């Protein structure tokens, strides 16, 4: 069907409710809007669904959610997992509870039990819950840190991680195979509950989750010692982190936790936030103001589904709060855990640290220093979660910590996705250790730079929307792939890796080998002087991202080197 035929079908078919039709009638004279809403199906990708809320095939609505869930249900039944059930969580966004219910009732109509949280919960708690309940799959309704007009739907498998290959592609095929909305099953909530196919979960999972988090604490005595002195400002960005973050800090004994009042309660419009993303400095405006009033040691913020953590720390010399990238906060937590577990004899046998290919090279340096196996995976935390599964299956290593540059990390194996609640807890313990030793968190970061090198990373993204944009992004990748540059400015390319074609080519010797990682549309340039550059089209947004990293001899030197590399990349493009 053409976009126009799809529009007419939605307007006239009895399957769609009156409110949906009303919304579509209102855009009847806007051809461009009709085309954008119906020119394609909202794609169910390897990360699930994500899109603007509204009526249409290319939008997030009860019908697209239901259709995707029917595909997932068909897959679960084929895998023989019908009797194990699916856990469902949702965040504070518009339509999140409704979409969670639609997914649950579609599953129930297919004879699959849905365990639905009684209120909003963080994404990592969903990962924990589905394993705790022995479910075959999990769904979390969230658009993470996207603007308020978006919502999304992430699918998880029985190991607690987001679905990885080959299952991701198999589920996508099942979703694509559902072409007729009339084939999508649903039932009333009352009938589903009466049949025992819609089960509400809550406190019992929260309590078990909290107990698991506390197992990651190394020095509870240090927290008690400085609890009266350390001051923490926290913002949940109007999302799911408020209750669990405050609970864990309170139960550990932290006394001075100040929550940004305007961003405390759930708000689907994120009224005080242009963009509810801990990577955006503007999102910290109110938290910084509160921190200055309270003379806080650290500022923490979790994104709306509480899987990512952003931090600022006080530099007592300048009196300013310094922003930390995800690489920096991840390295602080990683180094603290490896150091203190080694010192206290609590490091497991064959420990491993897992990171992604676009995360700081400092991770490898720290892992080597503590004699911990270092493993790199593709971008996306599901690949870190997958390594935990591999370790368990093979009995090879014990996972200690994993991180990615986009402000996500995980200590422990209670979840198989990044967990900002455990990250807050670990970072606050590390901050308590700093306080006890008379230094700031920023001082500790400088110590790591002095010891391992001044690693600095940056990103350069180009947004290209619509059909033409997608073609331009593809063309850019083709240019880099078919004619890879020999250098970026004064940095020579030592090795070129094309993960889509599984080729790692040494440009000095001409030798080619396998990348050793799954197929993915990613290009990586290993450069001289411990520098690198990586190109990757985004899976969730209409943009191509370039990740870069350098190693300098000082903060200023690293800053200069990364700016130079960025300019060289732009010149090439």
Q: Which of 422, 452, 482 is the last residue of a domain?
A: 452
Whether residue 218 lies inside any domain: the answer is: no
Are residues 311 and 290 both part of a single domain? yes
399 class by beta-carbon count within 10 Å (0-12 exposed, 13-18 middle, 19+ buried): buried
Whether residue 220 lies inside any domain: the answer is: no
The length of the chain is 573
Are residues 66 and 177 both part of a single domain? yes
The answer to whether residues 356 and 386 touch, using CB atoms and an 8 Å cutoff, is: no
Helix, coil or strand: residue 222: helix
Are residues 447 and 459 both part of a single domain? no
Which residues on neighbouring strands pair with residue 505, listed in sequence order? 496, 512
Helix, coil or strand: residue 4: helix
pTM of the full structure? 0.95
- Alpha helical stretches, state H, 133-202: 167-177, 189-194
Whether residue 552 lies inside any domain: the answer is: yes
Per residue of the chain (573 residues), give pLDDT as tens: 899 999 999 999 999 999 999 999 999 999 999 999 999 999 888 789 999 999 999 999 999 999 999 999 999 999 999 999 999 999 999 999 999 999 999 999 999 999 999 999 999 999 999 999 999 999 999 999 889 999 999 999 999 999 998 999 999 999 999 999 999 999 999 999 999 999 999 999 999 999 999 999 999 999 999 999 999 999 999 999 999 999 999 999 999 999 999 999 999 999 999 999 999 999 999 999 999 999 999 999 999 999 999 999 999 999 999 999 999 999 999 999 999 999 999 999 999 999 999 999 999 999 999 999 999 999 999 999 999 999 999 999 999 999 999 999 999 999 999 999 999 999 999 999 999 999 999 999 999 999 999 999 999 999 988 778 888 899 999 999 998 999 999 999 999 999 999 999 999 899 999 999 999 999 999 999 999 999 999 866 789 999 999 999 999 999 999 999 999 999 988
What would the pLDDT profile of 12-58 be if each residue is shown by its tens digit? 999 999 999 999 999 999 999 999 999 999 988 878 999 999 999 99
CA distance 280 to 272: 13
pLDDT value of residue 185: 98
CATH number of the domain where residue 96 is located: 3.40.120.10
- Virtual torsion, Cα 174, 120, 416, 346, nearest 10 deg: -170
Whether residue 168 lies inside any domain: the answer is: yes
Are residues 4 and 111 both part of a single domain? no
Are residues 46 and 32 both part of a single domain? no
Q: Give the chain's domain count.
A: 4
Are residues 434 and 485 both part of a single domain? no
Are residues 103 and 182 both part of a single domain? yes
Are residues 332 and 409 both part of a single domain? yes
The answer to whether residues 525 and 488 touch, using CB atoms and an 8 Å cutoff, is: yes
Whether residue 344 lies inside any domain: the answer is: yes
Please give the backbone phi and psi of residue 60, each rounded to the nearest 5 degrees, phi first.
-85, 115
pLDDT value of residue 540: 64
Helix, coil or strand: residue 148: coil
What would the pLDDT profile of 303-322 be if each residue is shown by its tens digit? 999 999 999 999 999 999 99
CA distance 74 to 86: 13
Whether residue 214 lies inside any domain: the answer is: no
Whether residue 282 lies inside any domain: the answer is: yes
Are residues 23 and 46 both part of a single domain? no
Are residues 149 and 278 both part of a single domain? no
Are residues 65 and 202 both part of a single domain? yes
Using alpha carbons only, what angle is made at residue 381 by residues 379 and 385, rounded to the nearest 5 degrees?
Answer: 125
CATH number of the domain where residue 469 is located: 3.30.310
Contacts with 566 (C-beta within 8 Å, 6 or more apart), sequence order: 458, 460, 548
Q: Which of 177, 208, 239 is the last residue of a domain?
A: 208
Among 96, 127, 137, 144, the active-site one is 144
Whether residue 468 lies inside any domain: the answer is: yes
Are residues 121 and 76 both part of a single domain? yes
Name the residue with tokens 């200590």.
411
Has 144 been annotated as catalytic? yes
- Virtual torsion, Cα 241, 445, 374, 535, nearest 10 deg: 80
Q: Which domain holds residue 398?
A: 225-452
Pairing assessment for the beta strands 86-90 and 137-141 based on DSSP bridges: parallel
């Amino acid at each position: 069907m053409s976009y126009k035929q799809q529009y007419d079908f939605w307007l006239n078919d009895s399957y769609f409710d009156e409110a949906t039709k009303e919304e579509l009638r209102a855009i009847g004279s806007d051809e461009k809007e009709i085309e954008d809403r119906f020119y394609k199906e909202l794609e169910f990708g390897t990360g699930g669904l994500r899109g603007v809320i509204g009526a249409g095939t290319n939008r997030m609505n009860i019908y697209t959610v239901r259709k995707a869930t029917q595909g997932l249900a068909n897959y679960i039944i084929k895998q023989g997992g019908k009797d194990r059930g699916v856990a469902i969580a949702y965040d504070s966004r518009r339509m999140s509870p409704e979409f969670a219910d639609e997914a649950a009732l579609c599953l129930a109509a297919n004879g699959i039990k849905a365990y639905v949280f009684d209120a909003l919960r963080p994404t990592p708690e969903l990962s924990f819950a589905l394993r705790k309940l022995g479910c075959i799959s999990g769904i979390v309704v969230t658009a993470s840190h996207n603007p308020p007009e978006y919502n999304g739907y992430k699918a998880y498998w029985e190991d607690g991680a987001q679905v990885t290959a080959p299952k991701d592609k198999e589920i996508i095929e099942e979703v694509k195979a559902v072409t007729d909305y009339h084939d999508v099953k649903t039932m009333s909530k009352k009938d589903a509950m009466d049949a025992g196919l819609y089960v509400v979960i809550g406190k019992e999972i929260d309590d078990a989750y909290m107990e698991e988090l506390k197992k990651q604490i190394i020095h509870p005595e240090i927290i008690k010692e400085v609890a009266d002195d350390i001051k923490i400002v926290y913002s949940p960005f109007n999302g799911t982190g408020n209750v669990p973050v405050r609970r864990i800090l309170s139960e550990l004994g932290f006394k001075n936790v100040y929550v940004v009042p305007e961003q405390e309660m759930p708000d689907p419009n994120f009224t005080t936030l242009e963009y509810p993303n801990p990577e955006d400095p503007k999102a910290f405006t109110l938290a910084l103001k509160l921190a200055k009033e309270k003379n806080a040691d650290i500022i923490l913020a979790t994104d709306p589904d509480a899987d990512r953590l952003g931090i600022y720390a006080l530099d007592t010399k300048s009196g300013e709060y310094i922003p930390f990238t995800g690489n920096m906060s991840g390295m602080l937590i990683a180094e603290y855990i490896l150091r203190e577990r080694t010192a206290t004899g609590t490091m497991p046998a064959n420990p491993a640290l897992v990171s992604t290919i676009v995360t700081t090279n400092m991770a490898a340096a720290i892992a080597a220093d503590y004699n911990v196996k270092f493993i790199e995976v593709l971008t996306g935390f599901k690949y870190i979660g997958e390594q935990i599964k591999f370790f368990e299956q093979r009995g090879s290593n014990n996972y200690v910590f994993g991180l990615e540059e986009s402000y996500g990390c995980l200590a422990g194996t209670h979840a198989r996705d990044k967990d900002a609640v455990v990250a807050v807890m670990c970072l606050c313990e590390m901050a308590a250790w700093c306080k006890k030793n008379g230094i700031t968190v920023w001082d500790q970061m400088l110590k790591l730079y002095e010891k391992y090198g001044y690693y600095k990373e940056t990103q350069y993204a180009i947004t290209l929307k619509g059909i033409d944009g997608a073609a331009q992004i593809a063309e850019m990748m083709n240019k880099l792939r078919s004619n890879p540059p020999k250098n970026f400015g004064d940095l020579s390319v030592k090795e070129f890796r094309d993960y889509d074609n599984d080729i790692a080519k040494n440009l000095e010797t001409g030798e080619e080998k396998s990348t050793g990682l799954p197929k993915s549309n990613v290009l990586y340039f290993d450069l001289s002087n411990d520098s690198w550059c990586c190109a990757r089209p985004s899976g969730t947004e209409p943009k191509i991202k370039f990740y870069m990293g350098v190693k300098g001899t000082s903060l200023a030197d690293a800053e200069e080197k990364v700016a130079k590399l960025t300019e060289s990349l732009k010149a090439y493009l």
